[in-house]
Amino acid sequence: MKYLSLLLLLSNFSLAAPAAKKIKVVTTLPVLASLAREVGGQHVELSSLLTASIDKAEDPHVIKDKPTFKSLVSKADLFIQVGRSLELWAPLVIKASANPKLISGEALLNASSGILTLEVPTTLSRAHGDVHPQGNPHVWLSPSAALKMSENIKNMLIKIDILHKKDYESNFNTFKHKLTLAMFGAELVKKANNDDFLWRQHEGKKLNEYLSKHKVKLSGWLSDAAQINYSFITYHTVFSYLAHDFNLKIVAHIEEKSGVPPSAAYKNALIKKAQTEQIKHVVVASYYRGMNKIIDYITTKINGRSIFITVDCVPQQSYIDFMSNLLATLIKFK
């Protein structure tokens, strides 16, 4: 009877035991929340300050403070931003939150740390427009960069929550394998039998040599992207990392300088270049819909077509689904 009473007591205690406290993670962009979900799994509670929908994402360069920002950030155990001067508004949000872990930098992560940087300015001057001193910050459109960002998130979660280290490492490795399959295709992944090796080959521009030597077929995103065989104009330097990873052809930007709309002379020169080179495609991030008059004008003058694309994850969308949809949209646009 005593043993039965003890078992009942332990059973009641187990049922009444509170669930483990989740790590409150606040991100600037939805795509960072998506990556943090892959790595953090059941141990994290996620919030993104910016939002995205199928038709439009908020511009991460310029965002108006919302009443929810202070509340979310003040309670955050971890704040994740892209960095590289993309979210210039973030320090003000952090300061207003009075969250000591974020103000000190202890729980603040620049997800782009250690990632290949494109378009680093050689000189810093307002004469060149709204330049990013650390280079182009739109790194999340590179799957290679997304993998590194997820690794940075994993390392930071382990630092904050060492108790669940094995889970974070396991979740990261699972995501890395899924991303590798999406990028390279099942046949090549099976042949190489080493995910890290394939990413090194890709980043070192040696993948074609490996394919030729081992007579193995490439599939996945890299194969699909070969169908995006047209050159295109874009508005801002949002697609540079996507182009770098998939050998896409961006021939010009509608912005004369970063953050600066084009002058009449620049527009005329751009139109002439497009007409000469027979460029018919204009691809623009959806948060530049406000510049549609300029975009429509140039598109009409070159007798071309334009498309606005959401360049961030919509709610609950995985990074892999996001990238698959983005590439499929560009393929269809040809």
- Residue 237 belongs to what H/E stretch? none
- The answer to whether residue 51 is domain-embedded is yes
Residues 180-200 have a mean pLDDT of 97
pLDDT value of residue 124: 58
pLDDT in tens, 8-58: 444 454 444 456 789 999 999 999 999 999 999 999 999 999 999 877 778
Mean pLDDT is lowest, of 52-56, 144-148, 183-187, for 52-56
On the question of pLDDT at 67 being above 80, the answer is yes
- The answer to whether residue 311 is domain-embedded is yes
Question: Is 32 in the same domain as 160?
Answer: yes
pLDDT in tens, 213-223: 999 989 999 99
The candidate with the shortest Cα–Cα distance to 323, out of 83, 100, 147, is 147
pLDDT value of residue 6: 46
On the question of pLDDT at 105 being above 90, the answer is yes
Say how far apart CA 249 and CA 148 lie, in whole Å: 24
Residues 52-76 have a mean pLDDT of 89
- The answer to whether residue 97 is domain-embedded is yes
The candidate with the shortest Cα–Cα distance to 259, out of 104, 53, 121, 158, is 121
| Domain around 265 | 223-333
- The answer to whether residue 214 is domain-embedded is no
Question: Is 45 in the same domain as 151?
Answer: yes
- The answer to whether residue 16 is domain-embedded is no
Residues 118-142 have a mean pLDDT of 75
DSSP secondary-structure letter at 105?
S
How many structural domains does the chain have? 2
Share of the chain above pLDDT 90, in %: 82
- The answer to whether residue 298 is domain-embedded is yes
Question: Is 26 in the same domain as 169?
Answer: yes
Residues 273-297 have a mean pLDDT of 96
Question: Is 162 in the same domain as 80?
Answer: yes
Question: Is residue 128 classed exposed, middle or buried when 0-12, 13-18 and 19+ CB atoms within 10 A define those classes?
Answer: middle
100-107 — which CB contacts under 8 Å span 24+ positions? 101/76, 101/77, 102/73, 102/76, 107/76, 107/77, 107/78, 107/79, 107/156, 107/160
The candidate with the shortest Cα–Cα distance to 214, out of 247, 188, 243, is 188
Question: Which CATH number do you get for residue 169?
Answer: 3.40.50.1980
Q: What is the pTM of this model?
A: 0.91
